[in-house]
A = this chain, B = another copy of it.
């Protein structure tokens, strides 16, 4: 038996984006944010994401400028890093995930902190002007805010879309309320995850399909 289904990748993308634009309410957002929203909706297959999205006015421009200038992308999990489509990146950008490296385990042991916190602290040498992509751990997002405040070192833009039942919603509200001048994109509430987060980075990397 052969099934009847579309096998052409570009055609699947085209039809998917057409369905999303027909079904999703993108009216509350500027065009450049809507382009990012479409790809996030595509990753989650949920058209109601826009109602939960929040962003700073300068976010898309800041993120795009940083990526074009070759900024590194600092990811809180290997799944986020895996989801970033390397061929879309405009500036040969380094995709960094330190979690799981021996460096992080050693730093965590030295400082008596968690590996998640250690991984965020070890971003510091690359953090200025970077694009941060947090799609898993609320603790990484909370600790990023602490590290930025304590160090004065600022990333260019923060995609803050951790997922879960404990701390996720709260960490995203903390990012929105940040008094640090950080440009951000957030999906409020419990929902989030690596696929939505890397989809946002993929949208920012290059316009279009």
Contact = CB atoms under 8 A, between A and B. Distances in A.
Contacts of A166: 6, 12, 15-16, 19
Contacts of A107: none
A9 B137 CA distance: 10
A167 B12 CA distance: 9
A175 to B, nearest CB: 11
Interface string A148-179: 01000000000000011111101100100000
Interface stretch (A55-63, A66-74, A77-85): A77-85
Nearest to A146: B2
B170 A5 contact: yes
B146 A190 contact: no
Size bin of chain A's contact surface: 35 or more
Nearest to A46: B191
A19 B5 CA distance: 39
A5 B164 contact: no
Contacts of A191: 44-46
Interface of A: 1-3, 5-9, 12, 15-16, 19-20, 42-46, 78-79, 81-83, 113-114, 116-117, 138-139, 142, 145-146, 149, 163-168, 170-171, 174, 189-195, 198
